[in-house]
Amino acid sequence: MTILDGKKVSNDIKDEITEQVKKMKAKGEKVPHLAAVIVGNDGASLTYVGSKVRACERVGFESTMVRMSNTTSEIELLDKIEELNQNDDIDGFIIQLPLPPQINTQKVLMAVDPSKDVDGFHPENFGKMALDMSTFIPATPFGILELLDRYDVETKGKHTVVIGRSHIVGRPMSILMGRKGFPGNSTVTLTHSHTKNITQITSQADIIISALGVPNFLKAEMVKDDAVIIDVGITRVPDESSPKGYIITGDVDFENVSKKASFITPVPGGVGPMTIAMLLKNTLLAREQRM
Ligand code: GUN
């Protein structure tokens, strides 16, 4: 069994990006600038955005965090997005999700200039992804592809089962694994809350990508020998013995599933750090495309 070490690979990618930024600086070029908009005070979202900003500092990018109150109206957020679209200094920006209920998420994501949409959530970029055109690939699926690539995990002709159809992970992942090329060329099954007899499906999978958000959902009985297991779950489970009062728990019963798996991602230290590294990669791409 091999651990797919997202922490190590993401650090390698950050080092590679740092080198590229150094070269940009040496040539007197502008360095990439990422902005992140966060609406409200959700603890997990603040943590994620904080990590994104710190990652920018580490690789030598400029970053801007835009904090807006929980009572922000849709119009106010759309005005802020227009400001970021027009601001020539900003190469790419993200709107951290989820948004408060008074705001229509799809309307907001469609207001982002596709050339600055480093999350790859705008329909134009999502459509390009589905059509194999060059574009920003959403950071979490992009990170999973990169992990599979760097560990040379065979995906061609394999049966990949994706659990969860979110717009951020499950849906794009199901498209990407079925695309021509590597990683890809898989036969993909997308499962969700209406799937019947999920164990029958997962136990036939060569590769399982679980993006459900239910701690320890995937048990050893649901997995065949030598399967590749990608755990995208990051649920905060209350735990009084830990300093923060919670522990981050994945979708996979790691202790038991890892005994059967050929490759497996840990939580934390698997997919999570890859997401941030790929957001940086998309931001570098956005800068290069604006030159
Ligand atoms: N919320 C959970 N994951 C993501 C992500 O990848 N991007 C944004 N903007 N919000 C998220």
Q: According to CATH, what is the number of the domain 139-273?
A: 3.40.50.720
Task: Enumerate the domain spans of the chain.
Answer: 28-114, 139-273
Q: Ligand 1 mean position to 279 CA, how many Å?
A: 10
Confirm whether 80 is a catalytic residue: no
DSSP state of 180: S
Quick check: helix, strand or coil at residue 80?
helix
Q: Ligand 1 mean position to 278 CA, how many Å?
A: 12
pLDDT in tens for each of the 291 residues of the chain? 999 999 999 999 999 999 999 999 999 999 999 999 999 999 999 999 999 999 999 999 999 999 999 999 999 999 999 999 999 999 999 999 999 999 999 999 999 999 999 999 999 999 999 999 999 999 999 999 999 999 999 999 999 999 999 999 999 999 999 999 999 999 999 999 999 999 999 999 999 999 999 999 999 999 999 999 999 999 999 999 999 999 999 999 999 999 999 999 999 999 999 999 999 999 999 999 998
Q: Residue 128: phi, psi to the nearest 5?
A: -60, -40
Q: Residue 207: phi, psi to the nearest 5?
A: -130, 130
b/e burial code for range 149-166 (CB count within 10 A of at least 16 → b): eeeebebeebbbbbbbbb
Q: Tell me, yes or no, if the two domains 28-114 and 139-273 fold the same way.
A: yes
CATH code matching the domain that covers 28-114, chosen among 3.40.50.10860, 3.40.50.800, 1.10.1840.10, 3.40.50.300: 3.40.50.10860
Q: Ligand 1 mean position to 35 CA, how many Å?
A: 13
Confirm whether 52 is a catalytic residue: yes
- Whether 119 lines ligand 1, by a CB cut-off of 6 Å, is yes
pLDDT value for 279: 98
pLDDT value for 167: 97
The answer to whether 268 touches 236, Cβ cutoff 8 Å, is: no
- Residue 133, CA atoms < 13 Å, CB-side half-sphere: 9
Catalytic pick among 5, 91, 117, 119:
119
